[in-house]
Amino acid sequence: MQTVSPQSPEARRKRLATLRARFGEEVVDRIRPGTRPFEVVKRVAIGVYSDGFIHAGNLAYLSLLAIFPFIIVAAALAHLLGRSEDAQLVAINLIARLPPDVGSLLKDPVEAVLSARHGPLLWFGGIVGLWTAASFVETIRDILRRAYGVTFCKPFWEYRLGSILLIIGAVLLMMTAFAAQVVLTGIHDLILHLFPFSEGAAHLIGFYRFAPAIPLYVTFYALFVSLTPARYRSIRCRKWPGALLVTLWWLLIAELLPRAIALAGGYSLTYGSLAGVMVALLFFFFIGLGVVMGAELNAALAETGGKALRGEVYSGPFSDKLEVEEPQPGEDVAKEEGGGVTA
Predicted confidence (pLDDT) per residue in 114-165, tens digit: 776 566 766 676 777 777 778 888 888 889 988 988 876 677 767 777 777 7
Residue 64 inside a domain? The answer is yes
**pLDDT tens-place string over residues 318-334:** 677 676 676 666 555 65
Residue 149 inside a domain? The answer is yes
Residue 36 inside a domain? The answer is yes
Specify the number of domains making up the chain. 1
- 167 is in which domain, residue-wise? 9-342
Q: What is the pLDDT of residue 265?
A: 64
Residue 259 inside a domain? The answer is yes
User: What percent of the chain is predicted at pLDDT more than 70?
Assistant: 64
Segment (H or E) for 291: helix 275-301
Between CA 15 and CA 312 the distance in angstroms is 13
pLDDT band at 73; cut points 50, 70, 90: confident
Most confident of 31-35, 154-158, 278-282, 303-307: 278-282
Are 322 and 17 within 8 A, CB to CB?
Answer: yes
Q: What is the pLDDT of residue 243?
A: 93
Q: What is the pLDDT of residue 293?
A: 95
Q: Count CB-CB contacts under 10 A for residue 18.
A: 20
Q: What is the pLDDT of residue 315?
A: 73
Alpha carbon distances (Å) from 210 to 90, 95, 181, 207, 248: 16, 15, 9, 6, 12
- CA proximity to 229, closest of 309, 329, 334: 329
Residue 271 inside a domain? The answer is yes
Residue 150 inside a domain? The answer is yes
Question: What is the distance, to the nearest Å, from the Cα of residue 129 to the centroid of all Cα atoms in its chain?
Answer: 19
**pLDDT tens-place string over residues 176-221:** 555 555 555 555 555 555 555 455 554 554 454 555 677 788 888 9
Q: Where are the alpha helices (DSSP H) in 81-99?
A: 85-96
**pLDDT tens-place string over residues 205-263:** 445 455 567 778 888 898 898 888 888 887 778 899 999 999 999 888 888 887 777 77
Segment (H or E) for 36: helix 36-80
pLDDT band at 1; cut points 50, 70, 90: very low
Between CA 131 and CA 297 the distance in angstroms is 29
- With 90 as the cut, is the pLDDT of residue 282 above it? no
Could you tell me what percentage of the chain is helix, strand and coil, using 3-state DSSP and rounding each to the nearest 5?
75, 5, 25
Q: What is the pLDDT of residue 339?
A: 44
User: What percent of the chain is predicted at pLDDT more than 90?
Assistant: 8
Between CA 96 and CA 127 the distance in angstroms is 26
Residue 2 inside a domain? The answer is no
pLDDT band at 32; cut points 50, 70, 90: very low
Residue with the bigger pLDDT between 42 and 81: it is: 42
Q: What is the pLDDT of residue 290?
A: 94
pLDDT band at 33; cut points 50, 70, 90: very low
Phi, psi at 117, each rounded to 5°: -110, 120
Residue 3 inside a domain? The answer is no
Q: Count CB-CB contacts under 10 A for residue 248.
A: 15
Residue with the bigger pLDDT between 2 and 284: it is: 284
pTM value is: 0.77
